[in-house]
Amino acid sequence: MNVQGSIFDDENVINIPLLNGEMDYYPKFFSEQESNALMQALRASLDWKQESMKLYGKDILFPRLMAWYGDAGSNYSFSGRNYTPVPWTTELLEIRNRLTPLCGKTFNSVLANLYRNGNDAMGWHADDEPELGPHPIIASVNFGATRKFRLRYKNNHQLTYELPLSHGSLLVMKGTLQEFWEHQIPKTKKVLSERINLTFRHITP
């Protein structure tokens, strides 16, 4: 039993130490049955939209669907847009409460991403916005198709790491990871089915 009150024993979590960054991976955080039910419920109940970003004065569509949920006041800006979260749904609150023991404080917002197939993706970025604070803990929950999660060191792009994120898994990014590393979900021709990713964050209003 972990003295910090973790509900996991060592067999359920893989700690991934990187140069100047750290991640914990829980391959089976949710059971198969729970994961199937949550995938279906989230697909049906979240308010999925294809948002756009401004790039060189043009509106470019994000290559995926998104939805932003959270406590009132946990506003967030990225890619030149400000997002106001809508109130939590039952499933999102249920998942958030399962994650609370991992983080010193309760996550107050979540960005949901729906990758419709391998053609949907997310480009290189770090979640290093000032409203996340200096060493953010970001809990990333995965349902549906397995997709590759790639990382590269900001000061040396030859230094990379790759991890497949599977149905029902949880990846916790912490420490100085966002300061030193970027991550992406690359396009792939091999995946034809949907994937939902939820990144739970703590935003300082």
The listed partner (ligand AKG, Fe ion, none) that binds 35, CB under 5 to 8 Å by sort, is none
Residue at token pair 């049906």? 44
Report residue 193 as tokens: 């089915």
Q: How far is the CB of 51 from Fe ion (least distance, A)?
A: 15
Alpha carbons within 13 angstroms on the beta-carbon side of residue 188 total 18
The listed partner (ligand AKG, Fe ion, none) that binds 102, CB under 5 to 8 Å by sort, is none
Position 151 contacts ligand AKG (CB under 6 A): no
The listed partner (ligand AKG, Fe ion, none) that binds 149, CB under 5 to 8 Å by sort, is ligand AKG
The listed partner (ligand AKG, Fe ion, none) that binds 110, CB under 5 to 8 Å by sort, is none
Q: How far is the CB of 56 from ligand AKG (least distance, A)?
A: 22
Spatial separation of the C-alpha atoms in residues 78 and 71, rounded to whole Å:
18
Position 83 contacts ligand AKG (CB under 6 A): no
Position 169 contacts ligand AKG (CB under 6 A): no
HEC string for the chain: CCCCCCCCCHHHCEEEEECCEEEEEECCCCCHHHHHHHHHHHHHHCCCECCEEEECCEEEECCCEEEEEECCCCCEEECCEEECCECCCHHHHHHHHHHHHHCCCCCCEEEEEEECCCCCCEEEECCCCHHHCCCCCEEEEEEECCEEEEEEECCEEEEEEEEEECCCEEEEEECCHHHHEEEEECCCCCCCCCEEEEEEECCCC
Position 127 contacts Fe ion (CB under 5 A): yes
Among 23, 92, 114, 122, interactor with ligand AKG by CB under 6 A:
122
Position 99 contacts ligand AKG (CB under 6 A): no
Q: Which is nearer to ligand AKG, 109 or 140 (CB)?
A: 140
Q: Which is nearer to ligand AKG, 57 or 204 (CB)?
A: 204
Q: How far is the CB of 1 from ligand AKG (least distance, A)?
A: 30
Position 177 contacts ligand AKG (CB under 6 A): no
Q: How far is the CB of 121 from Fe ion (least distance, A)?
A: 12
* Contact (Cβ atoms closer than 8 angstroms) between residue 127 and residue 134: no
Position 127 contacts ligand AKG (CB under 6 A): yes
Name the site residues for ligand AKG (rule: CB under 6 A).
111, 113, 122, 127, 140, 149, 165, 183, 185, 197, 199
